[in-house]
């Protein structure tokens, strides 16, 4: 299938990494982005070994090392006194175990690395998809104020509010999870007095939790503060939040948490909505990728990694010689169970992170100390060992 024409809608992390994987197997890829300029909302992103494996194979190891931060550990802590509940090495021990490193990065830095690796003539900005029509052997794409395009395969990598998904399967009805998230970036020099290690930290407490880690060459500290709340109407990454509200929500928490929130100039707030796994991702010559088909809560730090995996598996399937509809069915068969499992685990972590102090919380802490819960190496091996370019049907790891 070399020379197969593939149109990718969306030039985010998922769309651009998919374009690179598809180009690597000889596809003729064109990426269409509705915005007039490339950009990424949000702040930090985790690139775990299952994703860095793919990006290294695409030739991006040097650039990832330049823009990424390699944390020493994942440090899960108690909310008030900061007592360690579980500390899992993420530096050289993790790379020795899984073969590839773990990076923390600013989303915009990672996007820039991906965009620079895709030939500029293959990225078409200002192209808002208004519809598509599949014929027997091609898909015609229509854009607002732009010429139509024809492709052999259409990939909707257009995010959580995907137009391609809605055209295929109708509108979604996301469910508010009862959580809102404050997020922000703090210049690292403002935090020197807090003596914060180069780790990914998770402070867990009643009804909320707080995540922080360095990005942008350790120049910035990224944080996400999750708070339970009864209701919310909008689903947006760009609503301004009040720093004072975040400080109030985390009153009495560890001094590092209070110190980071006190040092931030501005914060943004967004509501977390949950979506049940889709029964299907593909129809004919059209399929979905990333948040368009498996948006997940950020409680496993796997959203971007799963989108990167999608692109690698899609490229493998399209390069396998089958006709595109059959290749897309195989892609769905290989990817959907794994992504759905990750969605479920991400949702479950909301409960585990937010337990009130008491017997359940004490049992959780004992399980963490025994290495019987997430982020011990044995438990996460099915995630980190996975090679999405050589996938197996159960979403695990070939042995």
- Tell me which residue of 324, 338, 377 sits closest to 28, measured CA to CA: 324
Q: Mark whether 213 is an active-site residue.
A: yes
Beta strand 44-47 pairing with 200-205: unpaired
Torsion of CA 390, 394, 397, 399, to 10 degrees: -100
Residues forming beta bridges with residue 202, ordered by sequence position? 76, 211
Structure tokens at 386: 């996975």
Q: In which region does residue 391 sit, left (phi positive, over 0), alpha (psi from -120 to 50) or beta (all else)?
A: beta
- Helices within 38-162 (DSSP H only): 49-57, 61-67, 92-98, 107-117
Rounded Cα distance, 266 and 301, in Å? 23
Residues forming beta bridges with residue 87, ordered by sequence position? 75
* Secondary structure percentages of the chain, helix, strand, coil, to 5: 35, 25, 35
Q: Are 398 and 386 in contact (CB under 8 A)?
A: no
CA dist 106 to 27, 70, 124, 217, 223, Å?
29, 13, 24, 9, 11
Catalytic residue among 182, 213, 331, 384: 213
Beta strand 139-143 pairing with 175-187: unpaired
Rounded Cα distance, 342 and 346, in Å? 6
Q: How many residues does the chain have?
A: 399
Structure tokens at 99: 């073969």
- Tell me which residue of 387, 382, 388 sits closest to 313, measured CA to CA: 388
Residues with catalytic annotation?
Answer: 213
């Amino acid at each position: 299938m070399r020379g197969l024409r593939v149109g990718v809608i969306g030039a985010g992390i998922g769309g651009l990494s998919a374009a690179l994987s598809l180009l690597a197997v000889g596809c003729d890829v064109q990426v269409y982005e509705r915005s007039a300029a490339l950009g990424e909302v949000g702040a930090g992103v985790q690139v775990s070994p299952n994703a860095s494996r793919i990006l290294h194979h695409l030739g991006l190891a040097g650039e990832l090392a330049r823009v990424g931060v390699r944390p020493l550990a994942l440090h899960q802590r108690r909310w008030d006194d900061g007592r360690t509940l579980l500390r899992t090495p993420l530096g050289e021990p993790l790379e020795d175990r899984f073969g590839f490193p773990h990076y923390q990065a600013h989303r915009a830095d990672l996007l820039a690395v991906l965009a620079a690796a895709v030939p500029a003539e293959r990225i078409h900005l200002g192209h808002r998809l208004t519809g598509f029509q599949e014929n027997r052997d091609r898909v015609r794409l229509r854009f607002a104020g732009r010429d139509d395009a024809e492709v052999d395969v259409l990939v909707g990598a257009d995010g959580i509010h995907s137009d391609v998904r809605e055209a295929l399967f109708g509108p979604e009805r996301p469910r508010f999870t009862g959580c809102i998230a404050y997020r922000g970036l703090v210049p690292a020099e403002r935090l020197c007095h807090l003596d914060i290690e180069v780790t990914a930290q998770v402070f867990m407490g009643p009804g909320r939790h707080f995540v922080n880690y360095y990005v942008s060459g350790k120049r910035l500290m990224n944080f996400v503060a999750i708070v339970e709340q009864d209701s919310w109407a909008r689903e947006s990454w760009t609503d301004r939040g009040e720093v004072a509200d975040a400080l109030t929500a985390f009153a009495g928490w560890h001094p590092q948490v209070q110190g980071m929130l006190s040092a931030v100039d501005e914060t943004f707030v967004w509501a977390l909505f949950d979506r049940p796994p889709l029964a299907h991702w593909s129809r004919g010559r059209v399929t979905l990728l990333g948040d368009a088909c498996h948006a997940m809560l950020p409680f496993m730090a796997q959203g971007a990694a799963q989108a990167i995996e999608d692109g690698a598996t899609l490229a493998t399937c399209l390069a396998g010689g089958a006709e595109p509809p059959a290749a897309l069915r195989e892609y769905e068969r290989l990817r959907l169970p794994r992504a759905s499992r990750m969605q479920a685990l991400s949702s479950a972590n909301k409960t585990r992170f937010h337990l009130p102090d008491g017997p359940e919380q004490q049992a959780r802490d004992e399980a963490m100390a025994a290495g019987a819960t997430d982020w011990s190496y044995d438990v996460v091996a099915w995630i980190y060992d996975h090679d999405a370019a050589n996938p197996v049907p159960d979403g695990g790891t070939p042995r």
